[in-house]
Amino acid sequence: MNKKTKALVLSVCMSTLLLAACSNGSGAEKGSTTDPDSNEAGTTTIHTVTSEYSSAKYPKGDDITNNVWIKRYKEKFNIDVKTDWVSDEYDTKLNLAIASNDLPDVFRVNPSQLRQLIEADMVMDLSEVFDQHASDRLKGYMEADADSYESGKKDGKLYGIPQMHWGLIEQPDFIWIRNDWKEELGLQDPKSVEDIKNIALKFMEKHGGYGIAVDQSLDYLNLLAIAWNAHPDMWMEDNSGQLVYGSVQPEMKNALAEWSEWYKQGIIDPEFAIKDFNAMNADIVAGKVGMQPYYQWWGYNPGVDTVSNLGKDAIFYPYIIPTVDGKEAKQSIFFANNNYIVMKKGFKSPEQVIQILNDYAYIVDEGNGKESKETLSALLDNDIAHVVGAFRVLNPNSDYEQFEAVSAALESKDTSGLTTSGMWQKYNNSVEFMENATSGAVGDYLQQGAPKNAYSLAKKVLDSENYTKTALWGVTPEILSSYGTTLDDILTEGFTKIIMGSESIDYFDVIVQNWRAAGGDDATRAVNEAYGK
């Protein structure tokens, strides 16, 4: 089965001694368990806060504040983690907590909040405790992405432990095309922008609806901009060596000119300007459209609902976005670490937090073969691995290594190279979809197991270095953060007017001037100064 639903509470019934024995010798055991704030029973209490995570599916009686991870901390380490609040508007609520100096012991922050807390002297210097108590594996994550590690420091001191990311293999984007419609019409894989347009028109002629699903944010339509060598949202070096913002460069104007033509032809959803992310995906699930520019995780959402509603033949496959002249477009790669773990100044048990971080890394990367299948299933399946909030650091090489192992195992049928629980999950789910077309397994199948899968294309992009990395490789300069979404809102509103035809393509130059006057010029100077340009 791709999603195990049995015995999810088994692991929490295991004794502390058994768990300790299972993980004997692992990095999870490193670090002291002595805590000056512990109670008479030796229990250490740690207060935290977290955001909602709606995708996780808990056993009956559990939730984000009381789940298998929270129970594990108590049973294995005698640490009682208390969640003071949970919010789907996490950053807003945390900003209020920062303003009122009402901080939990441990919490997750974004780069702007990290900078604010450091300057206000409200968070601990974690340099020594991390050096002394972090496992070799956890330190290895930092060595694998030293830029992210350094971004958590100020004046050489570590204040924010970066939570890292699943790896750059996640970042290349694709045009996803409904396969049964494509095969029914005998269409070839897209090799150019003209091919994308023609596939959309063929789908519309045969099945009605419109050609390409996008939403009001323009985030998904913008994924296609690389076809015109435009890189919206990215800071990059121009011919003079200065850093410029990709969204306001001339290449973006070319993309908008084409999209306005597509809108006239009904290729772009005529109602995109009033549709949010969920409404956009609802049209996919309803079978109204057969193409969508999207990230590598299409199979998880809307893939699961699409297959459930329309059947396995309605699956979409990813294709590398081509350029207007028939080449493979150069992808945009962004700085991947956006979150840091911080501890409020005066917190007396930082080593206990590092111990929990060690344990997460141990479970994810070393647990296979050392922990029972039931334990790993309870901790990692059903998106439970994502509910730990501030108590995890990811392996920045995880998904790349995982994909290589899973694809090799699927090809050879030799599973001896599957060394982590994540690898086994991706492998088993891929087999599950191939054999039984289980809709819940389609995410892993399309990401790693399908003949046409997202990671095989992404690996090709990374291995060939056919990408452009943002010049903003680290913490965003404060002045840029201070504008919030104001500058990008100007662009989104103006670009929408051009696409819908209420303004001509020449209006692009007006939009750029408005953006510059509203703070774009100041932001550009700040970015150049921050990066020594």
> What gap in Å lies between CA 132 and CA 350, rounded to an integer?
11
**Residue 360 near residue 77 (C-beta atoms within 8 A):** no
Element holding 47 (H helix, E strand):
strand 44-51
Query: Residue 180: pLDDT band by 50, 70, 90 thresholds?
Result: very high
Provide the greatest CA pair distance for the chain.
74
424-453: average pLDDT = 95
Is residue 119 packed enough to be buried (19+ CB in 10 Å), middle (13-18) or exposed (0-12)?
A: exposed
The whole-number pLDDT of residue 30 equals 38
Residue 83 has pLDDT above 70, yes or no: yes
Region of 90 on the Ramachandran plot (φ > 0 left; ψ -120 to 50 alpha; else beta): alpha
Question: Which residues lie closer than 8 Å to 347 by C-beta, 6 or more apart?
Answer: 105, 106, 124
**Residue 343 near residue 123 (C-beta atoms within 8 A):** yes
Residue 176 has pLDDT above 80, yes or no: yes
The whole-number pLDDT of residue 25 equals 34
Residue 449 has pLDDT above 90, yes or no: yes
CB count in 10 Å sphere of residue 278: 10
Query: Residue 229: pLDDT band by 50, 70, 90 thresholds?
Result: very high
> What gap in Å lies between CA 58 and CA 52, rounded to an integer?
13
Q: What is the mean pLDDT of the chain?
A: 90
The whole-number pLDDT of residue 11 equals 30
Share of the chain above pLDDT 90, in %: 81
Q: Which amino acid is at 306?
A: T
Which of 12-16, 82-86, 370-374 tops mean pLDDT? 82-86
The whole-number pLDDT of residue 34 equals 39
Q: Can you list the alpha helix ranges (DSSP code H) found in 23-81?
A: 68-77
pTM: 0.80
> What gap in Å lies between CA 471 and CA 418, rounded to an integer?
36
Which neighbouring-strand residues pair with 83? 48
**Residue 450 near residue 307 (C-beta atoms within 8 A):** no
1-24: average pLDDT = 30
> What gap in Å lies between CA 203 and CA 450, rounded to an integer?
23
Query: Residue 166: pLDDT band by 50, 70, 90 thresholds?
Result: confident
φ, ψ (nearest 5 deg) of residue 108: -95, 140
DSSP 77: H
Higher pLDDT, 6 or 197: 197
The whole-number pLDDT of residue 36 equals 46
**Residue 395 near residue 85 (C-beta atoms within 8 A):** no
443-447: average pLDDT = 97
Task: Retrieve residue 223's tokens.
Answer: 């994924």
Q: Could you report how far apart the first and last alpha carbons of the chain are, in Å?
A: 54
DSSP 349: -
Q: Is 453 helix (H, G, I), strand (E, B) or coil?
A: coil
- Please write down the long-range contacts of 370-373, taking CB distance under 8 Å and 24 or more positions apart: 370/22, 370/23, 370/26, 371/11, 371/22, 371/23, 372/10, 372/11, 372/14, 372/22
**Residue 316 near residue 298 (C-beta atoms within 8 A):** yes
The whole-number pLDDT of residue 60 equals 95
**Which residue is listed with tokens 């979150």?**
339
**Residue 272 near residue 210 (C-beta atoms within 8 A):** no
> What gap in Å lies between CA 151 and CA 158, rounded to an integer?
9
224-233: average pLDDT = 97
Higher pLDDT, 230 or 421: 230
Burial 141-174 (b: 16+ CB within 10 A, else e): bbeebeebbebbbeeeebbbbbbbbbbbbbbbbb
Query: Residue 53: pLDDT band by 50, 70, 90 thresholds?
Result: confident
Residue 28 has pLDDT above 70, yes or no: no
The whole-number pLDDT of residue 38 equals 59
The verdict on whether omega for the bond into residue 302 sits within 30 degrees of 0, i.e. cis, is yes
Which neighbouring-strand residues pair with 177? 291, 317
The whole-number pLDDT of residue 40 equals 61
223-241: average pLDDT = 96
CA nearest to 263, candidates 218, 228, 302, 323: 218
Residue 181 has pLDDT above 70, yes or no: yes
183-193: average pLDDT = 97
Higher pLDDT, 56 or 31: 56
Higher pLDDT, 96 or 482: 96
Across 105-119, 221-235, 252-266, least confident range: 105-119
Is residue 470 packed enough to be buried (19+ CB in 10 Å), middle (13-18) or exposed (0-12)?
A: middle
Residue 3 has pLDDT above 60, yes or no: no
Residue 392 has pLDDT above 80, yes or no: yes
